[in-house]
Structure 1
Amino acid sequence: MLGGGYAGLMVTRELEERLPPGDELVLVDETGEHLIQHELHRVIRYPTFADDIAIPLGELTTRAAIREATVTDIDADAGTVALADGEAIDYDACVVALGSQTADYDIPGVAEYATPLKRREHAATLRRDFLDAVETAGGTAVVVGGAGLSGIQTAGEFAELADREGVRDDVEVVLVERSDTVAPSFPENFRDAARNALRDLDVRLETGTEVTGVTATDVRTDGDAIPSDVLAWTGGVRGPDALGEERRGVRADLRLSDRTFVTGDAADIVDADGERVPASAQAAVRASPTVARNVERVLDAARAGESVGHLEKWAFETPGWLISVGDDAVAQLGPEVFRGAAANVIKTSVGLTYLAEHGSLRDAIRVVRDELGDERVLPDRPDLEP
């Protein structure tokens, strides 16, 4: 197993149950921790929340050997994985779940001046840059590049942080998106609800706007330049370095080669219904049982000295989508879209279930109190923690 994110952890846990006791199961991850990525934006406002969303992989697995290392290359034909320390690992079956990196599309200045939101240190940097800018500038401009789900949530956190610091009137939060709408790949009623939630927070929306360059002081676009003291970049995804920065295309059986599979954000999946699957935590989790069953079939066939027959095909089905927009939330369940208290309850229950299953009850309780705005036990109030 390569990668300890949503896809890597879920497939590992499935294989721990499925593989015979004599089979060696190794999980290679760069940090040795499972990061609950869909809550990372919260760290911008609540810094000590970072400790609750990173869980050592050894606490979440039962028999897998955890190897903390960086994967530099994968030879799917030879069945080998190269690590940054020079070691190579041979495998009988491999699942590549290394996630994705933020794409800068070679836009001049983005790599130098923008901060992505993929790791806890990124959230810490964005918070620090914001507070520094507020302290030194008469007015502060925060720009978020990319209005997908991550960009929407990030813009919402900055707006709420400005309010919490008592500087909302001095801060402008701008969300820039090349498409004509926020959340462009989602249903219209979901997009509308997300847009309205952002407007209620006074986030300025610059849709239909292409970023052409970035400097230390502004974001250049195909229209007017936008002043920028803080720039968060959530403008798309590319594949991991070990795959040549490519999201590898696979079909519904998620098979990259005879004994190699790729899943999660590292994969560009066309499912059994012929639909392209969005890069999301939800898709990564839902594909995991199919990946594990197909790995099991490949290994069983190899043990028997037979060729692999039919592999299971996966179709992505979603019950809906959930995002937070500051203290608000947008939830789509089937055709219905909710905002406010109802959406917050739905989103919080999903977070509670995930953390209770894959983290700890204490962490889950803290997430619930944060999501519901219980000021008695907010994550940056360690003196009041239970």
Structure 2
Amino acid sequence: MQTQQRIVVVGGGVAGIEIATSLARRRRDWPGAASVTLIDSDVAHVWKPMLHTIAAGTRDISQQQTTYLAQARQAGFSYQPGELCGVDRGRREVVLAEIRSADGRVLVPARRASYDALVVAVGSQANDFRTPGVASHCFKIDSRVQADAFNHELRIRVLQSFAHGEPLSIAIVGGGATGVELAAELVQLVDVAEGYGARGLAANIQIHLIEAGPRLLPAFPRDISVATSVRLQSLGVRVMLGTQVKAANAEGLVLDSGVLPAALRVWAAGVKAPSFLAEMDGLETNHNNQLLVLPTLQTTLDPAIYAVGDCAALTLPGGERPLPPTAQVAHQQAQYLVRNLRRHLSGEKIPDFAYRDFGALVSLADYDAFGSLGKFGIFKGGTIRGRLAQFSHIMLYRSHQARIHGFWRGGLLWLVDRLNARLRAPIRLD
């Protein structure tokens, strides 16, 4: 009699929730079946490329999040709250740290969970490069909780600025997609707020976007970088290129040229995986704490452990550097594992992962959007802008919803969003 195979997925981001959902729906087709467990320290999933809209308050977090318990019931996997802090490879167990409330009470005790196949999909976070003061004085928006916390403080500061007529300076460090899109969403927040009666608010708010490199969006073609910079400046954003942040404090940011006063400071520069991965029972990692994986996405030292998405470092044959930490890569790796994990557990040899670069998109709220078309398709290497790019950006999210909820349920969620856009305020006013 064949025993049930235990599949544990740690991390409920783009890759993790797609893997757990799809494997659970297919498990009845497996010899001996399989149990699928998703472990995450949070209680709900939000599509990571949308976090900047949650942070700005141009989308309501309650409408865009998917609670893990509800998804587990709908798809057929098990959900356990927990934070990965280690792995016992000899016993094939993940070690989970306790979860505490804000006041220090233990909500979930430390414990262990057994696996036959472990998928590590814990994502990434901004890299402050040990810049003094950043951890204490800057917000980050790498998670649902962090984005909501920034939005809470933002609404307080905006209300104070409007009520007292005082200036409010917001500094965003990092000219990648997150920083660029957050800057545009903040502009939209202020514009909409003025339409609700906050007259003169825009004149009191200054948004700074700081990038250490010579241009914004370094992963995009140069023409998109230039056009994005010009468009943001036309919206009133102060774009500061070639500017290093030396330190952060309660008053602002210390730059090469002096101190930039900023009441709100967001660090969106750099990418690294969680530091605990560097201590995962001897597994190999790089300088960014990413787990080194083979072309089968198995870690180099343990074939029972896979790593996908931002926390994995995979350099394809002929490549000079690992694949970028993007939602596109995470999705493709998730689908690869969904197709091949059953074969691995059955003892079959699985093919190598093949990545297709379909380009990248960046959205400047409702003002504009830009896209590069990547290396595949009829128009490979081209660029798009405006409504087509905005629609393409929207479809990325809707495709993700369809994968985790199913085509019809995902379509209904899109309809609900469209109705809410007509019936509810376009920004958070609470």
TM bin (shorter chain):
0.7 to 0.9
Matches within 5 A, 1:1-386: 1-16=9-24, 17=26, 19-20=30-31, 22-46=33-57, 49-61=60-72, 62-76=75-89, 78-84=91-97, 85-134=109-158, 135-136=160-161, 138-166=166-194, 167-244=201-278, 246-256=289-299, 257-274=302-319, 276-301=322-347, 310-327=349-366, 328-333=368-373, 334-359=380-405, 360-367=410-417, 376-380=423-427
Q: Which amino acid aligns with 2:382?
A: E
Distance 1:203 1:76, change over 3 A: farther
Between the aligned partners of 1:151 and 1:21, the Cα distance in structure 2 is: 47
- The runs of 4+ residues in structure 1 deviating greater than 6 Å are none
Between the aligned partners of 2:124 and 2:372, the Cα distance in structure 1 is: 25
User: Contact (CA 8 Å) 1:351, 1:367: kept in 2 or not?
Assistant: no
- TM-score normalised by L of structure 2: 0.79
SS of residue in 2 equivalent to 1:315: coil
User: Contact (CA 8 Å) 1:351, 1:368: kept in 2 or not?
Assistant: no
Distance 1:277 1:24, change over 3 A: same
Q: Which amino acid aligns with 2:390?
A: N
SS of residue in 1 equivalent to 2:60: helix
Between the aligned partners of 1:356 and 1:253, the Cα distance in structure 2 is: 26
Distance 1:342 1:289, change over 3 A: closer
Between the aligned partners of 2:230 and 2:383, the Cα distance in structure 1 is: 12
SS of residue in 1 equivalent to 2:52: helix
SS of residue in 2 equivalent to 1:331: strand
Cα distance, 1:191 vs. partner? 1.9
Distance 1:271 1:366, change over 3 A: farther
Q: Deviations over 1:223-248 (max 9, x none)?
A: 33211111111112221244147111
Distance 1:206 1:47, change over 3 A: closer
Q: Which amino acid aligns with 2:415?
A: I
- TM-score normalised by L of structure 1: 0.87
Cα distance, 1:183 vs. partner? 0.9
Q: Which moved more, 1:89-98 or 1:61-70?
A: 61-70
Cα distance, 1:375 vs. partner? 5.4
SS of residue in 1 equivalent to 2:136: helix
Q: Deviations over 1:282-325 (max 9, x none)?
A: 11001113233443233112xxxxxx6x4321232122212221
Between the aligned partners of 1:367 and 1:354, the Cα distance in structure 2 is: 15
Q: Which amino acid aligns with 1:161?
A: L
Distance 1:66 1:20, change over 3 A: farther
Q: Which amino acid aligns with 2:296?
A: D
Distance 1:277 1:173, change over 3 A: same
Residues paired across the two proteins, number: 373
Between the aligned partners of 1:364 and 1:72, the Cα distance in structure 2 is: 37
User: Structure 2 unaligned runs (5+)?
Assistant: 1-8, 98-108, 195-200, 279-287, 374-379
% identity of equivalent residues = 24
Coordinate RMSD, CA, aligned = 2.6
Q: Deviations over 1:233-291 (max 9, x none)?
A: 11122212441471112232211112111011111221345352110111100111323
Cα distance, 1:344 vs. partner? 1.7
Between the aligned partners of 1:47 and 1:341, the Cα distance in structure 2 is: 19
Cα distance, 1:89 vs. partner? 1.8
Between the aligned partners of 2:298 and 2:370, the Cα distance in structure 1 is: 34
Q: Which moved more, 1:167-176 or 1:272-281?
A: 272-281
Q: Deviations over 1:158-181 (max 9, x none)?
A: 122222233112211111111111
Cα distance, 1:349 vs. partner? 2.8
Cα distance, 1:377 vs. partner? 4.2
User: Contact (CA 8 Å) 1:351, 1:364: kept in 2 or not?
Assistant: no
User: Contact (CA 8 Å) 2:47, 2:397: kept in 1 or not?
Assistant: no
